[in-house]
Amino acid sequence: MMNLLITIVIILAILAIVQIVRIVELSAQISGEKDETVTIKEDGNMNALFMMVFLVGELFFMIYQTIRYKKFILPEPASLQGVITDRMLYIIFALIIFVFFVTQILLFFYTFKYKFNKTRRSFFFPDSHKLEFIWTAIPTVVLFGIIIYGLNVWNAITAPAPANAKLIEVYGRQFDWTVRYAGKDNKLGKAGFKLVSDENILGVDKTDPNTNDDLIGKELHMPVNMPILLKFRSQDVIHSAYLPHFRVQMNTVPGMPTHFFFNPTITTRQMREKTNNPKFDYVLLCNKVCGVAHYMMKMKIVVETPAEYEEWLKTQKTFTADATPTVSSVKVLTAK
Ligand SMILES: [Cu+2]
């Protein structure tokens, strides 16, 4: 119904514009102006009118879309680092929107203002060093500011992890994720691609004593308000571990471990309340098109209180309990 009404309004508006143009045409003929002048004047008037219609339509459409699709953007950042990243993003958005509005309004207003006028003569204005200086200097200063601000943000979000950060390894392979928790000693056993086999897909060194208490999981659990150091490895190709709600992303590169340190601040339970969605879950996604089943590389993330986290860890198997996922066990998991 709404769509029908909008369509009718648009058709009526077009009809009204056609009628206005006709009236202008007729009135010009009555007042006895030359045919050629009449055509230029008509076209000029019509173009000027369309410019204003376009300006209003474009700005209205942009505002409408921003409000209409706002619900699809991510909820508030669930990490300290995410807050810093989002602040920068919104400052840059504000700057872009301000410049967009000013330039669009000026552009279309002046085409309207300087439509054809028989008595006006154009003004010869070849160049102005002062103007050129202004329009070069302002963007330079603004961009410089953004770059310095951006570098500061980068340094803040990639700061080294404190010594007490919880160490968790995220392991990517075509096409799933496996998590290795460092256990009580907070030290992960050694691992390397040379040790990877059908029986040991993580390539973990079982002779390393630190391996004994390492735990294996298919969900990423993290205690809230604690520094978390995620270490990433890949078995085969470059994947990208993307944790959108925490504004964290890091490539996982075969043969080259990477890491990212951050502090989750909102538990899954709190986020369910904030988003008013009892089924809400944080996710870790692969953000590199890494093969045919890339879209399946998704893992649930649970952020909980430190007590809940410790309880959950107790239910996970250690390496000594032979929890190392093998090719056959992973196939079963993927087939579900
Ligand atoms: Cu992938």
- How far is ligand 1, taken at its centre, from the CA of residue 230, in Å? 17
Mean pLDDT score of the chain, rounded to an integer? Answer: 86
> What's the CA gap between 181 and 221, in Å, rounded?
9
Give pTM, 2 decimals.
Answer: 0.73
What is the pLDDT confidence band of residue 155, given thresholds at 50, 70 and 90? very high
- How far is ligand 1, taken at its centre, from the CA of residue 333, in Å? 16
With a pLDDT cut of 70, the percent of the chain lying above it is: 93
> What's the CA gap between 265 and 248, in Å, rounded?
13
- How far is ligand 1, taken at its centre, from the CA of residue 239, in Å? 4
The answer, yes or no, to whether the previous bond of 175 is cis (omega within 30 of 0) is: yes
- How far is ligand 1, taken at its centre, from the CA of residue 206, in Å? 26
Q: Can you give the residue ranges of every domain in the chain?
A: 6-73, 78-105+132-159, 166-335
- How far is ligand 1, taken at its centre, from the CA of residue 193, in Å? 17
- How far is ligand 1, taken at its centre, from the CA of residue 74, in Å? 22
Q: What is the pLDDT of residues 176-220, one digit of tens each?
A: 898 888 877 788 778 877 777 777 777 787 777 777 778 888 889
> What's the CA gap between 146 and 331, in Å, rounded?
47
Highest mean pLDDT among 159-163, 189-193, 246-250, 309-313: 246-250
* Helix (H/G/I), strand (E/B), else coil: 234: strand
3-state SS of 157-177?
A: HCCCCCCCCEEEEEEEECCEE
Q: In this predicted structure, what is the pLDDT of residue 136?
A: 95
- How far is ligand 1, taken at its centre, from the CA of residue 241, in Å? 8
Q: In this predicted structure, what is the pLDDT of residue 328?
A: 46
Whether the per-residue pLDDT at 327 is higher than 60: the answer is: no
Whether the per-residue pLDDT at 47 is higher than 70: the answer is: yes
- How far is ligand 1, taken at its centre, from the CA of residue 88, in Å? 28
**Dihedral of the alpha carbons of 262, 265, 268, 272, in degrees to the nearest 10:** -130
- How far is ligand 1, taken at its centre, from the CA of residue 299, in Å? 11
- How far is ligand 1, taken at its centre, from the CA of residue 262, in Å? 22
Q: In this predicted structure, what is the pLDDT of residue 34?
A: 65
Give the H or E element holding residue 13: helix 2-30
CATH 2.160.10.10 fits 166-335, yes or no: no
Q: In this predicted structure, what is the pLDDT of residue 332?
A: 39
Q: Identify the residue with better confidence: 40 or 246.
A: 246
**Would you give the end-to-end CA distance of the chain in angstroms?**
44
With a pLDDT cut of 90, the percent of the chain lying above it is: 53
**Dihedral of the alpha carbons of 116, 118, 121, 122, in degrees to the nearest 10:** 20
Whether the per-residue pLDDT at 10 is higher than 50: the answer is: yes
What is the pLDDT confidence band of residue 289, given thresholds at 50, 70 and 90? very high
- How far is ligand 1, taken at its centre, from the CA of residue 249, in Å? 13
Q: Identify the residue with better confidence: 164 or 64.
A: 64
What is the pLDDT confidence band of residue 35, given thresholds at 50, 70 and 90? low
Whether the per-residue pLDDT at 38 is higher than 90: the answer is: no
- How far is ligand 1, taken at its centre, from the CA of residue 232, in Å? 12
- How far is ligand 1, taken at its centre, from the CA of residue 127, in Å? 54
- How far is ligand 1, taken at its centre, from the CA of residue 271, in Å? 26
Average pLDDT of the segment spanning 161-167: 88
Whether the per-residue pLDDT at 145 is higher than 90: the answer is: yes
Average pLDDT of the segment spanning 240-263: 92
- How far is ligand 1, taken at its centre, from the CA of residue 305, in Å? 29
- How far is ligand 1, taken at its centre, from the CA of residue 61, in Å? 37
- How far is ligand 1, taken at its centre, from the CA of residue 234, in Å? 9
- How far is ligand 1, taken at its centre, from the CA of residue 176, in Å? 7
- How far is ligand 1, taken at its centre, from the CA of residue 7, in Å? 45
What is the pLDDT confidence band of residue 333, given thresholds at 50, 70 and 90? very low
